[in-house]
Structure 1
Amino acid sequence: MADLNTTIRDLQAEGEHLDALVASLTDEQWAGPTPAEGWSIAHQIGHLAWTDRASLLAVTDPDAFAESVAEAWKTPLGFVDEAAEVEAARPPAELLADWRAGRIKLAEALAAVPNGIKLPWYGPPMSAMSMATARLMETWAHGQDVAEALGAPAPPTNRLRSIAHLGVRTRDFAYAVNNLTPPAEEFRFELTAPPADGVGTADAVDEVWTWGPEDAAQRITGPAADFCLLVTQRANPGDLNLTAVGPDATRWLGIAQVFAGPPGAGRDPKADA
């Protein structure tokens, strides 16, 4: 797997890709809807800016971060949406500038975290590597919503490997937030990596990313991009080219969730849209 510096570079690259999508939008377009119900493009970027600031505070001032957590838990099911509303109400140019500055500061702060240090968060403490991966995941996921809203291309890249790895590692978390007991047996995951050039050719040999025992009875296979859409709940499982073998793996497809918090509502099938 990638090291911290590589993951931070991937995080920066993902932010730059999304930045390019929104940089020239009009104020009217910033207010336009995205696939996330009730969230405009401004909400999407505002959420990223707010979470980057929270992450930076966790790295640089744990005591102040603890105070912010205590305040957030006064509305545990609403503070994320409330923050997004506040951010979305800002002038787009101001919001964009703030997000850009925050991304740079967070990348620098994460790179300076000593090995072995655990950073506080709204859930369990995490390493700098875990925080960088989580920020990469969120930036990509919200970027998918923005790209879909704009009808813009969002070609998959090898940056998805870290997101897929996080999806595999959080298998049991999805059961826990749904009040289900995780199966004792490990799953086998076999995910086809995106083409190195973003296009691929008919005679190319696809790289496959794997996790879990080769002989596992419960298996999930398919494109890594579809798997990342699944675990970030950016698409309905029925719209994805993923195959589950075994009842436990099949059930997990319906509850997979890589992000913290209560069970996500997921997305409606495209056929019903």
Structure 2
Amino acid sequence: MADPTPVFDDLRAESDELDRLVADLPPHRWTSPTPAPRWTVAHQIAHLAWTDRSALLAVTDEDAFRALVEKALAAPDSFVDDGADEGARLAPAELLASWRQGRAALDAALRASPPGARFPWYGPPMSAASMATGRIMETWAHGQDIADALGVERAPTDRLKHVVRIGVRARDFAFAAHGLPAPGEEFRVELSAPSGEVLTYGPEDAAQRVIGSARDFALLVTQRAHRDDLDVRAEGADADRWLDIAQAFAGPPGDGRPPKGDAR
């Protein structure tokens, strides 16, 4: 079993980077609208704080987490927004402190978890490493919304490999979410990471291929940018269809983002 410590370290680093982006914002910037409809910068941080607390319960108190799942099932269309709304009503300093406290507690709980442990989640149970990988994906994606709202260009890092991995593994889920049968063959995926490393998945001789930038693939599968604006290309009809519907997150398909030239 691989040592999950590097994944935990990457989650801490991704969170710390986002913290630096918002830590010194004046109060009025916390109400800046982000690309997510109706969500401000405060909503984005509040959502991360809420999901960190959910993950902490999953790792430390399964009964309390099950109660949280039941609450979510009772309001499937609103529980995510409700959690973000509640946190966004806090004063920025209080919200920032809450997020910091929650993610520190989750970090400690993940590092203390026994090898091989699996924890409940809103989908299948997850290992500690998988839980941390999911938190990296969410932190990076919601951090992108905040960066867009603030007009900041973030320097990409090789932590994107975690987002890429989830996006690749979620291929069949993306097809199912659109009511489509999953392709019967594996795809070849070749993506260039910021360091120059090429991230590869699937057989080298696969007919269906996806090639391009790891950062742009991460933007695609988290639906933070439109395919037309990204350096990701497909070879083969099934791979091409996948790039139209790809998603790395659970739940129903999102609306995504319009192309940059689209005035909608």
Same fold (TM over 0.5): yes
Amino acid at match of 1:134: G
Alignment of 1:1-273 (within 5 A): 3-195=3-195, 206-273=196-263
In the TM superposition, what is the alpha-carbon distance from 1:77 to its structure 2 partner? 2.0
Amino acid at match of 2:39: W
Distance 1:221 1:78 in 2: 37
Amino acid at match of 1:161: K
Q: Which moved more, 1:108-117 or 1:10-19?
A: 108-117
Distance 2:24 2:197 in 1: 36
Assess if the C-alpha contact under 8 Å between 1:160 and 1:224 holds in 2.
Answer: yes
Which 4+ runs in 1 deviate beyond 3 A? Answer: none
In the TM superposition, what is the alpha-carbon distance from 1:98 to its structure 2 partner? 0.5
In the TM superposition, what is the alpha-carbon distance from 1:57 to its structure 2 partner? 0.5
In the TM superposition, what is the alpha-carbon distance from 1:180 to its structure 2 partner? 1.1
In the TM superposition, what is the alpha-carbon distance from 1:207 to its structure 2 partner? 2.2
* Residues 3 and 269 of structure 1: CA distance in aligned 2, closer, same or farther (over 3 Å): farther
In the TM superposition, what is the alpha-carbon distance from 1:46 to its structure 2 partner? 0.3
How many residues were matched structurally?
263
The unaligned stretches of length 5 or more in structure 1 are 196-205
RMSD of the alignment, in Å? 1.2
What percentage of residue pairs aligned between the two structures are identical? 60
TM-score (norm 2): 0.97
TM-score (norm 1): 0.94
Distance 1:20 1:127 in 2: 29
What whole-Å deviation, never above 9, does each CA across 1:86-106 have from its counterpart, x for those lacking one? 111111110000001111110
